[in-house]
Structure formats: structure tokens, C-alpha cells
Structure 1
Amino acid sequence: MPIIEVNLLEGRAPEAKERLIQALTDAAIDAIGAPRESVRVILREIAPAHFAVGGQSFAAKAAATAQSKIEEDWSDGR
């Protein structure tokens, strides 16, 4: 029985997660001939504040990007 674990940031639509589950299940069936009913998929959603790259959380990076966009729009007179 294949068990596929996926870690991803929170915020995706339920429909997107269902498509991912289906695609991963199909991939296991195609790759190793696993019976569909034996494939297990575990999605673990991580809060952006709990995931970091290069010493900065995704939440902090998103906030900095949003602030930069606001400042850019302000300087452009938008």
C-alpha cells in the first residue's frame, strides 16, 4: 500500500487539493501498478508563518512583498 505524504502551504482551494490527490493517486497506479483502493494520500497544510526559507517565513515575505507593492503604487501615483 503506497502512502504519499505532501506538505504544502495553507490557502489552496478544496478543489485544487482534490485534483492533487487524484493526480498523485493516478501517478502511483501508473508508476508501480498499485491498486487504486490501496493508495493513501496525506496532505499536511502548513501555516505560512511556520515555514521559512533563507531565514524568513513565508508570512513575513508576503507582508514585505505587499508593502513593497503598496510603496511602488504610491510612488507611481496610483
Structure 2
Amino acid sequence: MPLVEVTLTEGRRPEQLRELMHRVHEAVRSSLDANPQSIRVIVREVPRELWSAGDQTLAERDAQEGR
């Protein structure tokens, strides 16, 4: 049973996330010839305040850049 996890920051529309799940599902199905019913796709959204790079949260970086 293939399981794919995608982690990204919050802020995308539900339709975008659904399209992502569909495309990931199709990529796994076609590349592995997997049974469609066995494919699992999990999308995790993380608040920008809880994601850091270079000892700075993405929210802090946004504030510095005026976003």
C-alpha cells in the first residue's frame, strides 16, 4: 500500500489541495502500477509560525519582507 505524505505551509485553497492529491495519486498509480484503492495521500498543512529555516520562522520572514 503506497503512502505519500506532503507537508506544506498553510494558505492554499481547498481546490488546490484536492488537485495536488489527485495528481500525486495518479503519479503513484501510473509509475508503480498500483491498485488505485490502495494508494494513500496525506497532506499536512503547517502554520507559518511553526515552520523555520535558518533560525527564522516563515512568518517572521514574511513580516520582514512586508507580506
**TM-score (normalised: structure 2):** 0.95
Q: Where do 5+ consecutive residues of structure 2 fail to align?
A: none
- Aligned counterparts, 1:1-78, within 5 A: 1-66=1-66
- CA drift of 1:30 comes to 1.1
Gaps of 5+ in 1: 68-78
Q: Counterpart amino acid of 1:17?
A: L
SS of residue in 2 equivalent to 1:66: coil
Higher CA-based Rg: 1
Shift of 1:60: 0.3
Alignment partner of 2:65: what SS?
helix
For the residue of structure 1 that corresponds to 2:12, the secondary structure is coil
Any idea what SS the aligned residue of 2:61 has? helix
One-letter amino acid of the structure 2 residue matched with residue 55 of structure 1: D
Higher relative contact order (CA closer than 8 Å, sequence separation 6+): 2
CA RMSD of aligned residues (A): 1.0
Distance, in Å, in 2 between the alignment partners of 1:18 and 1:35 is 20
- Which consecutive aligned stretches of 4+ in structure 1 deviate over 2 angstroms post-superposition? none
